[in-house]
Amino acid sequence: ERYGKGEACVFMHGAGGSSLSWYSQRALQDRMEVVLLDLPGHGDSPGPAPDNIEEYCEAVQGTLAEMGLDRYYLAGHSMGGAIAMSLALSSPEKVKGLILIGTGAKLRVMPEFLEGILKDKEKTVRMIIDLAFGRTTPPEIKEEGFKAMMKCYARTIYNDYLACDKFDIMNRAEKITCPTLILCALSDLLTPPKYSEYLKWKIKGSEIKLIEQAGHMMMIEKGEEVNSAIRAFIG
């Protein structure tokens, strides 16, 4: 999906998500071109979903090339952040800047997620959603998040978490040289603030913005605050 004109910013969702994760970010079209992707096997994109970040990177690069995009900003949430950082490392000439939202240089996955998603999808997705949103988030927003994730096949979610669990650029993050904005929710239980602090330490010249009263899904919980930070970053 493409909205607006100007600097292109490509938004990549997290594990078990889709372009719906960025509903609030469509408002950014007043200042830039907003490009929302459904990764392979998610939303309206055919599968299968790969179980590694490298294949996701190839899919994203191919899609952006087909769209005629040669230089762009990348915004990634969680697993999407892993893809964004990997692309910044492999194709620095194409990435004008990074917006890293609730992500890390290493994304260890709770064993309960991997063990449970194929055995009892509904129960496990409930557990994931309970941890993904902050305590003050209205129940109806959590329920929408639950319904959205349940649209993903269990195998797709499982593969996403395998991809995250294998991801590790802790020894390479300092090689990211493009301007980088790190958005960190203080109540994020899945990628806690120390993950963002590590990225800030490793990526030279990066800036960090703290989002209060929000959890892992901060772009939904605090959409306007996230948007304001993105507008200020891209200019």
Please state, for a pLDDT cut of 90, what percent of the chain lies above it: 99
Tens-digit pLDDT profile for residues 111-145: 999 999 999 999 999 999 999 999 999 999 999 99
C-alpha span between 107 and 92 (Å, rounded): 22
The residue among 34, 75, 35, 37 whose CA lies nearest residue 56 is: 37
C-alpha span between 95 and 214 (Å, rounded): 28
pLDDT of residue 163: 98
Tens-digit pLDDT profile for residues 173-218: 999 999 999 999 999 999 999 999 999 999 999 999 999 999 999 9
Tens-digit pLDDT profile for residues 18-28: 999 999 999 99
| CA trace torsion 32, 33, 34, 40 (10° rounding) | -150
- Taken in order 55, 153, 47, 10, is the CA torsion positive or negative? negative
pLDDT band per the 50, 70, 90 thresholds, residue 235: confident
